[in-house]
Amino acid sequence: MSYVEAVKSLKESKYIPLYLLFGNESYLIQDLQHKIIQSVLDEEPEQGMNFNAFDMEETPIQEAILDAETFPFFGDRKVLLLKNASFFKAKLDKIKVEHDLSVLEKYLDHPVDHTVIIIIAPYEKIDERKKIVKKLKKTGRVVKCESPREYDLKTWIDMLAKDLGIHIEPQATQKLIEEIGTDLMSVQKELEKFSLYVDEGEPITIEVVEKLVSRHTESSAFKMIDALMKKDITEAIAVFKDLSKRNEEPIALVALLASQIRLILQCKLMKNKGYTKQQMDKQIKAHPYAIKMALDRERYFSVEQLYEMMSLLTNTDEQMKRGEMEKELAFELLLYRFVEKRSAK
Protein backbone atom coordinates (compact mmCIF):
# COMPACT_ATOMS: atom_id res chain seq x y z
CA MET A 1 0.00 0.00 0.00
CA SER A 2 1.23 3.50 -0.82
CA TYR A 3 1.18 6.54 1.47
CA VAL A 4 -1.67 8.15 -0.52
CA GLU A 5 -3.78 4.97 -0.30
CA ALA A 6 -3.13 4.75 3.44
CA VAL A 7 -4.24 8.34 4.04
CA LYS A 8 -7.41 7.76 2.01
CA SER A 9 -8.19 4.62 4.01
CA LEU A 10 -7.82 6.57 7.27
CA LYS A 11 -10.49 8.97 6.07
CA GLU A 12 -12.81 6.26 4.77
CA SER A 13 -12.69 3.62 7.50
CA LYS A 14 -11.96 3.07 11.16
CA TYR A 15 -8.48 2.46 12.46
CA ILE A 16 -6.58 -0.78 11.85
CA PRO A 17 -4.94 -2.68 14.78
CA LEU A 18 -1.44 -2.54 13.35
CA TYR A 19 0.52 -0.50 10.80
CA LEU A 20 3.99 -1.17 9.43
CA LEU A 21 5.48 1.95 7.85
CA PHE A 22 8.71 1.48 5.89
CA GLY A 23 10.68 3.32 3.23
CA ASN A 24 13.31 6.01 2.72
CA GLU A 25 10.98 9.03 2.83
CA SER A 26 11.14 10.04 6.50
CA TYR A 27 8.78 12.98 5.98
CA LEU A 28 5.95 10.72 4.78
CA ILE A 29 6.58 8.25 7.62
CA GLN A 30 6.35 11.02 10.21
CA ASP A 31 3.31 12.57 8.58
CA LEU A 32 1.40 9.27 8.32
CA GLN A 33 2.37 8.36 11.88
CA HIS A 34 0.92 11.68 13.04
CA LYS A 35 -2.29 11.16 11.03
CA ILE A 36 -2.82 7.68 12.49
CA ILE A 37 -2.37 8.94 16.05
CA GLN A 38 -4.82 11.79 15.42
CA SER A 39 -7.39 9.38 13.98
CA VAL A 40 -7.21 7.11 17.04
CA LEU A 41 -6.72 9.48 19.98
CA ASP A 42 -8.38 12.74 20.85
CA GLU A 43 -6.31 15.78 21.69
CA GLU A 44 -4.61 16.18 25.09
CA PRO A 45 -4.77 14.71 27.64
CA GLU A 46 -5.60 11.45 25.82
CA GLN A 47 -2.63 11.66 23.44
CA GLY A 48 -0.29 12.24 26.34
CA MET A 49 -1.59 9.48 28.58
CA ASN A 50 -2.47 6.80 26.02
CA PHE A 51 0.60 7.01 23.80
CA ASN A 52 3.85 5.17 24.37
CA ALA A 53 6.97 4.76 22.22
CA PHE A 54 9.55 1.95 22.20
CA ASP A 55 12.92 1.81 20.46
CA MET A 56 13.31 -1.70 19.06
CA GLU A 57 17.09 -1.35 19.27
CA GLU A 58 16.75 -1.14 23.06
CA THR A 59 13.47 -2.90 23.94
CA PRO A 60 12.45 -6.44 22.91
CA ILE A 61 9.22 -6.78 20.94
CA GLN A 62 7.72 -9.02 23.65
CA GLU A 63 7.74 -6.12 26.14
CA ALA A 64 5.94 -3.87 23.66
CA ILE A 65 3.29 -6.54 22.99
CA LEU A 66 2.76 -6.94 26.75
CA ASP A 67 2.06 -3.21 26.92
CA ALA A 68 -0.30 -3.48 23.94
CA GLU A 69 -2.41 -6.06 25.75
CA THR A 70 -2.90 -3.91 28.85
CA PHE A 71 -5.92 -1.60 28.95
CA PRO A 72 -5.61 2.15 28.34
CA PHE A 73 -5.07 4.26 31.45
CA PHE A 74 -7.42 6.97 30.20
CA GLY A 75 -10.02 6.68 27.45
CA ASP A 76 -10.99 3.79 25.20
CA ARG A 77 -7.89 3.33 23.02
CA LYS A 78 -4.16 3.75 23.07
CA VAL A 79 -1.33 3.88 20.52
CA LEU A 80 2.08 2.25 20.68
CA LEU A 81 4.91 3.43 18.43
CA LEU A 82 7.67 0.87 17.81
CA LYS A 83 10.69 2.59 16.21
CA ASN A 84 13.72 1.16 14.35
CA ALA A 85 12.20 -2.26 13.67
CA SER A 86 15.18 -3.73 11.84
CA PHE A 87 13.90 -7.31 12.21
CA PHE A 88 11.87 -6.83 9.02
CA LYS A 89 15.03 -6.46 6.92
CA ALA A 90 16.49 -9.35 4.94
CA LYS A 91 19.86 -8.87 6.65
CA LEU A 92 19.39 -8.29 10.35
CA ASP A 93 21.28 -5.55 12.18
CA LYS A 94 23.38 -6.36 15.22
CA ILE A 95 21.54 -5.00 18.25
CA LYS A 96 21.83 -5.59 22.00
CA VAL A 97 18.33 -7.05 22.48
CA GLU A 98 16.75 -10.30 21.32
CA HIS A 99 13.32 -10.15 19.71
CA ASP A 100 10.97 -13.11 20.02
CA LEU A 101 8.91 -12.57 16.86
CA SER A 102 6.70 -15.54 17.72
CA VAL A 103 5.09 -13.28 20.35
CA LEU A 104 4.20 -10.76 17.63
CA GLU A 105 2.90 -13.58 15.40
CA LYS A 106 0.61 -14.84 18.15
CA TYR A 107 -0.60 -11.31 18.83
CA LEU A 108 -1.49 -10.88 15.15
CA ASP A 109 -3.81 -13.91 15.42
CA HIS A 110 -5.93 -12.08 18.02
CA PRO A 111 -5.01 -8.38 18.28
CA VAL A 112 -6.75 -6.47 21.06
CA ASP A 113 -9.34 -3.90 20.00
CA HIS A 114 -8.17 -1.15 22.34
CA THR A 115 -4.60 -0.73 20.98
CA VAL A 116 -3.21 0.46 17.66
CA ILE A 117 0.44 -0.42 17.03
CA ILE A 118 2.53 1.62 14.58
CA ILE A 119 5.79 -0.09 13.63
CA ILE A 120 8.43 2.06 11.94
CA ALA A 121 11.06 0.41 9.73
CA PRO A 122 12.94 3.39 8.22
CA TYR A 123 14.62 1.33 5.52
CA GLU A 124 14.28 1.35 1.75
CA LYS A 125 13.28 -2.32 1.66
CA ILE A 126 11.90 -5.00 3.96
CA ASP A 127 11.92 -8.75 3.35
CA GLU A 128 8.37 -9.35 2.18
CA ARG A 129 9.05 -13.09 1.98
CA LYS A 130 9.14 -13.32 5.76
CA LYS A 131 6.21 -15.05 7.44
CA ILE A 132 5.72 -12.16 9.87
CA VAL A 133 5.44 -9.63 7.01
CA LYS A 134 2.89 -11.79 5.16
CA LYS A 135 0.89 -12.10 8.36
CA LEU A 136 1.07 -8.33 8.91
CA LYS A 137 -0.41 -7.73 5.46
CA LYS A 138 -3.43 -9.86 6.36
CA THR A 139 -4.06 -8.40 9.81
CA GLY A 140 -2.85 -4.81 9.43
CA ARG A 141 -1.50 -2.39 6.85
CA VAL A 142 1.98 -2.44 5.35
CA VAL A 143 2.66 1.01 3.88
CA LYS A 144 5.63 1.88 1.69
CA CYS A 145 6.66 5.50 2.23
CA GLU A 146 8.85 6.38 -0.74
CA SER A 147 9.42 9.54 -2.73
CA PRO A 148 6.26 9.89 -4.83
CA ARG A 149 6.24 9.74 -8.60
CA GLU A 150 4.93 12.78 -10.44
CA TYR A 151 1.33 11.49 -10.60
CA ASP A 152 1.32 10.55 -6.91
CA LEU A 153 2.92 13.90 -6.06
CA LYS A 154 0.08 15.76 -7.79
CA THR A 155 -2.45 13.63 -5.90
CA TRP A 156 -0.63 14.32 -2.63
CA ILE A 157 -0.61 18.07 -3.32
CA ASP A 158 -4.34 18.07 -4.08
CA MET A 159 -5.01 16.08 -0.90
CA LEU A 160 -2.92 18.41 1.25
CA ALA A 161 -4.51 21.50 -0.33
CA LYS A 162 -7.93 20.08 0.51
CA ASP A 163 -6.85 19.58 4.13
CA LEU A 164 -5.79 23.25 4.20
CA GLY A 165 -9.18 24.30 2.81
CA ILE A 166 -7.81 25.58 -0.52
CA HIS A 167 -8.07 24.60 -4.16
CA ILE A 168 -4.97 24.63 -6.35
CA GLU A 169 -5.41 24.73 -10.12
CA PRO A 170 -3.65 22.04 -12.25
CA GLN A 171 -1.31 24.55 -13.91
CA ALA A 172 -0.38 25.93 -10.50
CA THR A 173 0.34 22.40 -9.24
CA GLN A 174 2.65 21.75 -12.19
CA LYS A 175 4.43 25.07 -11.64
CA LEU A 176 4.89 24.29 -7.95
CA ILE A 177 6.49 20.93 -8.81
CA GLU A 178 8.78 22.58 -11.36
CA GLU A 179 9.97 25.10 -8.77
CA ILE A 180 10.21 22.86 -5.70
CA GLY A 181 10.76 19.41 -7.18
CA THR A 182 10.03 16.43 -4.93
CA ASP A 183 11.01 17.97 -1.58
CA LEU A 184 7.78 17.14 0.24
CA MET A 185 8.42 19.24 3.31
CA SER A 186 9.12 22.30 1.13
CA VAL A 187 5.98 21.65 -0.91
CA GLN A 188 3.88 21.54 2.27
CA LYS A 189 5.40 24.81 3.54
CA GLU A 190 4.63 26.51 0.22
CA LEU A 191 1.01 25.31 0.30
CA GLU A 192 0.60 26.56 3.86
CA LYS A 193 1.94 29.94 2.72
CA PHE A 194 -0.51 30.02 -0.21
CA SER A 195 -3.40 29.20 2.12
CA LEU A 196 -2.61 32.28 4.23
CA TYR A 197 -2.30 34.51 1.16
CA VAL A 198 -5.56 33.84 -0.72
CA ASP A 199 -9.02 34.81 0.47
CA GLU A 200 -11.53 32.11 1.40
CA GLY A 201 -12.81 30.35 -1.71
CA GLU A 202 -10.14 31.91 -3.93
CA PRO A 203 -8.13 29.32 -5.92
CA ILE A 204 -4.34 29.03 -5.99
CA THR A 205 -3.44 30.05 -9.55
CA ILE A 206 -0.16 29.83 -11.43
CA GLU A 207 0.22 33.58 -10.86
CA VAL A 208 0.02 33.05 -7.08
CA VAL A 209 2.69 30.34 -7.25
CA GLU A 210 5.01 32.49 -9.39
CA LYS A 211 4.58 35.40 -7.00
CA LEU A 212 5.03 33.59 -3.68
CA VAL A 213 7.06 30.42 -4.22
CA SER A 214 10.52 30.31 -2.67
CA ARG A 215 13.03 29.56 -5.41
CA HIS A 216 14.94 26.35 -4.83
CA THR A 217 18.51 25.82 -5.90
CA GLU A 218 17.83 22.59 -7.79
CA SER A 219 15.05 24.11 -9.90
CA SER A 220 17.28 27.15 -10.52
CA ALA A 221 19.95 24.79 -11.89
CA PHE A 222 17.40 23.49 -14.42
CA LYS A 223 16.50 27.10 -15.28
CA MET A 224 20.17 27.72 -15.96
CA ILE A 225 20.29 24.68 -18.23
CA ASP A 226 17.14 25.89 -20.01
CA ALA A 227 18.86 29.23 -20.66
CA LEU A 228 21.87 27.38 -22.07
CA MET A 229 19.51 25.37 -24.31
CA LYS A 230 18.26 28.68 -25.74
CA LYS A 231 21.85 30.05 -25.90
CA ASP A 232 20.65 32.87 -23.66
CA ILE A 233 23.75 33.85 -21.69
CA THR A 234 21.98 36.87 -20.19
CA GLU A 235 19.29 34.69 -18.60
CA ALA A 236 21.85 32.10 -17.42
CA ILE A 237 23.92 34.78 -15.66
CA ALA A 238 20.74 36.35 -14.21
CA VAL A 239 19.85 32.99 -12.59
CA PHE A 240 23.40 32.73 -11.25
CA LYS A 241 23.24 36.27 -9.82
CA ASP A 242 19.94 35.42 -8.13
CA LEU A 243 21.53 32.35 -6.54
CA SER A 244 24.54 34.42 -5.45
CA LYS A 245 22.21 36.85 -3.64
CA ARG A 246 20.98 33.86 -1.67
CA ASN A 247 24.56 33.09 -0.66
CA GLU A 248 24.86 29.95 -2.77
CA GLU A 249 28.53 28.97 -3.09
CA PRO A 250 29.84 28.80 -6.70
CA ILE A 251 31.67 25.53 -5.94
CA ALA A 252 28.41 23.99 -4.73
CA LEU A 253 26.64 25.29 -7.85
CA VAL A 254 29.29 23.67 -10.06
CA ALA A 255 28.63 20.34 -8.31
CA LEU A 256 24.86 20.76 -8.69
CA LEU A 257 25.14 21.73 -12.36
CA ALA A 258 27.45 18.75 -12.92
CA SER A 259 24.90 16.37 -11.39
CA GLN A 260 22.17 17.72 -13.70
CA ILE A 261 24.35 17.55 -16.84
CA ARG A 262 25.48 14.05 -15.85
CA LEU A 263 21.85 12.94 -15.49
CA ILE A 264 20.96 14.43 -18.90
CA LEU A 265 23.94 12.63 -20.46
CA GLN A 266 23.01 9.35 -18.79
CA CYS A 267 19.41 9.60 -20.02
CA LYS A 268 20.55 10.48 -23.54
CA LEU A 269 22.95 7.53 -23.74
CA MET A 270 20.29 5.12 -22.45
CA LYS A 271 17.67 6.56 -24.78
CA ASN A 272 20.05 6.06 -27.73
CA LYS A 273 20.36 2.41 -26.70
CA GLY A 274 16.57 2.01 -26.78
CA TYR A 275 15.79 2.16 -23.05
CA THR A 276 12.26 3.23 -22.11
CA LYS A 277 11.47 5.79 -19.41
CA GLN A 278 10.28 2.97 -17.12
CA GLN A 279 13.58 1.09 -17.58
CA MET A 280 15.53 4.25 -16.80
CA ASP A 281 13.50 4.78 -13.61
CA LYS A 282 14.63 1.35 -12.39
CA GLN A 283 18.31 1.69 -13.29
CA ILE A 284 19.16 5.34 -12.66
CA LYS A 285 19.53 6.37 -9.02
CA ALA A 286 17.41 9.49 -9.32
CA HIS A 287 13.79 10.43 -8.72
CA PRO A 288 11.52 9.60 -11.71
CA TYR A 289 10.52 13.26 -11.98
CA ALA A 290 14.19 14.32 -12.25
CA ILE A 291 14.61 11.74 -15.01
CA LYS A 292 11.56 13.16 -16.79
CA MET A 293 13.07 16.66 -16.57
CA ALA A 294 16.36 15.36 -17.98
CA LEU A 295 14.61 13.60 -20.86
CA ASP A 296 12.77 16.81 -21.70
CA ARG A 297 16.15 18.49 -22.19
CA GLU A 298 18.48 15.84 -23.63
CA ARG A 299 17.39 16.42 -27.23
CA TYR A 300 18.80 19.94 -27.16
CA PHE A 301 22.35 18.68 -26.61
CA SER A 302 24.55 16.27 -28.53
CA VAL A 303 26.47 13.58 -26.66
CA GLU A 304 29.72 15.36 -27.57
CA GLN A 305 28.45 18.67 -26.17
CA LEU A 306 27.46 17.04 -22.90
CA TYR A 307 30.86 15.36 -22.50
CA GLU A 308 32.59 18.67 -23.24
CA MET A 309 30.38 20.42 -20.67
CA MET A 310 31.32 17.81 -18.04
CA SER A 311 34.99 18.42 -18.83
CA LEU A 312 34.52 22.19 -18.44
CA LEU A 313 32.78 21.65 -15.10
CA THR A 314 35.67 19.50 -13.86
CA ASN A 315 38.26 22.10 -14.94
CA THR A 316 36.29 24.96 -13.35
CA ASP A 317 35.92 23.02 -10.10
CA GLU A 318 39.70 22.48 -9.98
CA GLN A 319 40.42 26.16 -10.76
CA MET A 320 38.10 27.31 -7.97
CA LYS A 321 39.54 24.91 -5.40
CA ARG A 322 43.15 25.82 -6.31
CA GLY A 323 42.33 29.51 -6.11
CA GLU A 324 43.49 30.17 -9.67
CA MET A 325 40.50 32.40 -10.41
CA GLU A 326 37.90 34.32 -8.43
CA LYS A 327 34.94 31.93 -7.97
CA GLU A 328 32.13 34.14 -9.32
CA LEU A 329 34.20 35.09 -12.37
CA ALA A 330 35.10 31.45 -12.99
CA PHE A 331 31.44 30.46 -12.89
CA GLU A 332 30.37 33.20 -15.31
CA LEU A 333 33.19 32.20 -17.66
CA LEU A 334 31.95 28.62 -17.43
CA LEU A 335 28.48 29.74 -18.58
CA TYR A 336 29.97 31.63 -21.52
CA ARG A 337 31.90 28.54 -22.56
CA PHE A 338 28.76 26.43 -22.25
CA VAL A 339 26.94 28.72 -24.68
CA GLU A 340 29.90 28.49 -27.06
CA LYS A 341 29.70 24.69 -26.97
CA ARG A 342 25.91 24.85 -27.42
CA SER A 343 26.36 27.07 -30.50
CA ALA A 344 29.06 24.89 -32.05
CA LYS A 345 27.95 22.54 -34.81
CA count, 13 A, side-chain hemisphere, 24: 6
Q: What is the pTM of this model?
A: 0.62
User: Could you tell me if 193 and 36 are in contact, meaning their C-beta atoms sit under 8 angstroms apart?
Assistant: no
**Residues in CB range of 302: below 8 A, 6 or more apart:** none
Q: Quick one: pLDDT at residue 307?
A: 92
Cα–Cα nearest to 70, from 88, 52, 85, 92: 52
User: Could you tell me if 288 and 150 are in contact, meaning their C-beta atoms sit under 8 angstroms apart?
Assistant: yes
Cα distance between residue 21 and residue 68, in whole Å: 18
Give, in words, the CATH class of 217-343: mainly alpha
CA dihedral 232, 234, 235, 240 (to 10 degrees): 130
Cα–Cα nearest to 132, from 111, 102, 163: 102
Cα–Cα nearest to 182, from 288, 266, 254, 33: 288
Q: Quick one: pLDDT at residue 222?
A: 73
Q: Across 106-147, where does the E strand assignment appear?
A: 115-121, 141-144
CATH superfamily of 3-144: P-loop containing nucleotide triphosphate hydrolases (3.40.50.300)
Q: Quick one: pLDDT at residue 247?
A: 78
Cα–Cα nearest to 327, from 314, 318, 336: 318
- Domain residue spans in the chain? 3-144, 150-212, 217-343
**DSSP state letter for 86:** G
Element spanning 257, H or E:
helix 250-272
Burial group, residue 88, by CB count within 10 angstroms (0-12, 13-18, 19+): buried
Give, in words, the CATH class of 150-212: mainly alpha
Collapsing DSSP states into helix, strand and coil, what is residue 228?
helix
Cα distance between residue 164 and residue 203, in whole Å: 12
Q: Quick one: pLDDT at residue 274?
A: 92
Cα distance between residue 55 and residue 75, in whole Å: 24
Q: What is the pLDDT along the chain (345 residues), one digit of tens a residue?
A: 878 788 878 877 667 889 999 988 888 888 889 888 888 877 665 566 788 899 988 898 999 999 898 888 777 888 999 998 888 877 776 777 888 888 988 998 899 888 999 999 888 888 888 888 888 888 888 988 887 776 778 888 888 888 888 899 999 988 888 777 777 778 888 888 888 888 888 899 998 888 887 666 666 777 788 888 788 888 888 888 877 877 788 898 888 889 889 999 999 999 999 999 888 888 887 777 788 888 988 988 889 889 998 999 999 999 888 888 888 899 889 888 888 877 665
